Structure 1
């Protein structure tokens, strides 16, 4: 199992009035990592590019500690925890060399943009995603920490 590694720069505009990354911005970091995996990485390995479309069905985020601005990018690790015929669950950790700031999970549904309805994963998509599958590392609610350890940011 491999994890996709995305180095995400922090932008000054990501900060809120309290001097740390705004909670909503983390969704953009997750999206950037997921797009890097499915639109940049997949075609580079000769697989289908997920160009058929997809929609986000669910996000779960555990904010573990505030992330303050740095000129060094953070790392977003992404892996697949679940695949069905018509959905993929991605798990993530947003971290630097010293600590994890966020654990998250996103359910994505393949979508036929022309027909305006969900579709099934193609065999090429499934094969590509299998290389990033790790059923044992679930992201949020994986039992790795107590809920009271989460912080609101």
Structure 2
């Protein structure tokens, strides 16, 4: 399963060439990741009584992004799909596609690490965090790979 986020484009996202600046793509990934890991994760456990995933903290350890097609400003949002391609005891790799109806504009991956905010150090993933992420695993051949 993949998480789908409709991300609005802002006038300030454009660069001097009239298309969305490369740095802004990372903000789109961040918006989709926050929606996925906090709003969706909390909704997934609301009725079960399980611990809300990632409330203890989580940090980004790595980003990779391939820019495939320019994205021009418009009033309609762009779709950001997010899914999990790798789960370890203390990290996970998320994959993304930033796209609209007919075009994939970018593919990206992010390595996230659960983090103990009080101790200021990485930690292992909890069982509830792992269970949430497992529901979004997609390591199929059709999943985009960063070159």
TM category (shorter chain) comes to over 0.9
Match of 1:115 in 2: 119
Per-residue deviation, 1:112: 0.3
Per-residue deviation, 1:120: 0.6
Match for 2:76 among 72, 78, 84?
A: 72
RMSD: 0.9
Contact 1:79/1:91 (<8 A) preserved: yes
Structure 1 residue ranges, 4+ long, deviating more than 3 angstroms after superposition: none
Per-residue deviation, 1:100: 0.2
TM-score calculated relative to the size of structure 2 = 0.93
Contact 2:33/2:82 (<8 A) preserved: yes
Match of 2:60 in 1: 56
Match of 2:145 in 1: 139
Contact 2:79/2:98 (<8 A) preserved: yes
Q: What runs of 5+ residues in structure 1 fail to find an aligned partner?
A: 142-153
Q: What runs of 5+ residues in structure 2 fail to find an aligned partner?
A: none
Residue by residue over 1:118-153, the C-alpha shift from the partner in whole angstroms, topping out at 9 and shown as x without a partner, is 001100000000010011224312xxxxxxxxxxxx
Contact 2:84/2:92 (<8 A) preserved: yes
- In structure 2, C-alpha distance between the alignment counterparts of 1:131 and 1:71, rounded to whole Å: 32
TM-score calculated relative to the size of structure 1 = 0.89
Per-residue deviation, 1:41: 0.4
